[in-house]
């Protein structure tokens, strides 16, 4: 899953924390080093909003990240050696540190660093003038005034991209994947392609089951549907035999790995598993093309003892009650 960032750039060289020497070309390349927070997180394919202190300059997709070795000047307070220093434009002495020391010249301490260049020239596009720095800041996931590279929530910025960024947006949405955990920020109020896609993926994640529960079952049975043998990972879900809402049981004995459609039929009581024989039984309403072949097959349990018989027995009662309700 690609991420979204804002890059703070300043015309000419920028200075932060006593570091000097970042010389950017805002519409083409952003330079940073191993002292900058999030420097290892930025990857090819990530979306970036390039901004100055007063304006959002544009949006782009990172095409390459070049890593090198370099040296930079780290400026320190001569009194306390702090790097949190600033050059004042209208006061003397011109330099001050966070501890309240004032001085004419900072100490210069050259240090070795890894250098990074994030390049994005061919995909850079302007954004709507309505996207202000203030609105950009509202989309920061973990706000911090001290970071020049901040992670963003693209769903909250989508309305300001403009038509010339449609391709970038579609590529981002196409790379979105089902999350390991359902930890999305609440975005039900957003009318955006990304928010809609998140809602779909959240539902898929919930259907697949809690990650630890699903992983536990995969270790037990392998990544395959225990009824059909289907082994396409994206369609395999972790099913509770006893509903979790009533049992709060995420143990392997209360779970099955099922193809998504069979999971639905199992939850509805249209598919049962005989607890004595471990053979699959289908409601006659399911005896149609694509399902008839599973009636009577043996549940796959590998070299294990299989699910908890008492859990299967409880679900078997649901299956039997559904049979009785047939017209």
Tens-place pLDDT, residues 119-162: 999 999 998 899 999 999 999 988 766 688 999 988 888 888 87
The stretch 60-84 carries a mean pLDDT of 92
Burial of 161 (0-12, 13-18, 19+ CB in 10 A): buried
Q: In what order do the strands lie in the sheet with 149-151?
A: 56-61, 47-51, 4-8, 149-151
214 with 203, same domain: the answer is no
Are 203 and 277 members of one domain?
no
- State residue 20's pLDDT score: 47
pLDDT of residue 306: 95
Task: Check whether residue 119 and residue 268 sit in a common domain.
Answer: no
* Segment 88-108, tens digit of pLDDT: 989 999 999 999 999 999 999
Lowest mean pLDDT among 243-252, 286-295, 305-314: 243-252
In the chain, the number of structural domains is: 3
Q: Do 141 and 229 belong to one domain?
A: no
Q: Are residues 260 and 195 in the same domain?
A: no
Range of the domain at 8: 4-162
Q: pLDDT tens for residues 197-256?
A: 777 777 766 666 577 888 999 999 999 999 999 999 989 999 999 887 667 788 899 999
DSSP per position, 126-160: ---TT--HHHHHHTBSS--TT-SEEEB-GGGTGGG
Strand partners, 97: 85
Residue 169 belongs to some domain of the structure: no
If asked whether residues 194 and 260 sit together in one domain, one would say no
**Both 156 and 25 in a single domain?**
yes
Residue 156 and residue 16 share a domain = yes
């Amino acid at each position: 899953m690609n991420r979204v960032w804002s890059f703070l750039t300043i015309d000419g060289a920028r200075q932060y924390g006593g570091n000097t020497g970042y010389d950017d070309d805002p519409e083409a390349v952003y330079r940073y080093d191993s002292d900058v927070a999030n420097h290892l997180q930025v990857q090819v394919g990530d979306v970036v909003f390039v901004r100055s202190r007063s304006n959002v300059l544009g949006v782009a997709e990172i095409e390459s990240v070049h890593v090198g070795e370099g040296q930079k000047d780290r400026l320190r307070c001569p009194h306390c050696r702090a790097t949190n220093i600033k050059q004042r434009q209208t006061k003397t002495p011109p330099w001050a540190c966070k501890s309240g020391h004032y001085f004419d010249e900072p100490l210069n301490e050259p240090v070795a660093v890894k250098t990074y260049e994030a390049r994005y020239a061919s995909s850079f596009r302007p954004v709507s003038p309505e996207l202000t720095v203030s609105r950009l800041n509202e989309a920061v996931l973990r706000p911090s005034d001290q970071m020049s590279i901040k992670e963003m929530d693209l769903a909250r910025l989508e309305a300001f991209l403009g038509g010339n960024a449609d391709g970038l947006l579609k590529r981002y949405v196409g790379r979105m994947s089902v999350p390991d955990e359902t930890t999305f920020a609440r975005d039900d109020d957003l009318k955006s392609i990304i928010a809609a896609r998140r809602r779909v993926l959240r539902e898929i994640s919930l259907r697949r089951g809690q990650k630890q529960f699903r992983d536990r079952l995969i270790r037990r049975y392998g990544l395959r549907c225990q009824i059909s043998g289907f082994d396409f990972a994206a369609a395999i879900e972790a099913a509770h035999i006893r509903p979790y809402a009533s049992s709060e049981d995420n143990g392997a004995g209360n779970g099955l790995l099922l193809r998504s459609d069979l999971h639905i039929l199992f939850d509805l009581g249209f598919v049962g598993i005989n607890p004595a024989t471990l053979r699959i039984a289908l409601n006659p309403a399911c005896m149609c093309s694509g399902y008839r072949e599973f009636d009577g097959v043996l549940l796959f349990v590998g070299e294990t003892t299989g699910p908890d018989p008492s859990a299967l027995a409880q679900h078997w009662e649901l299956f039997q009650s559904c049979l009785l309700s047939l017209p």
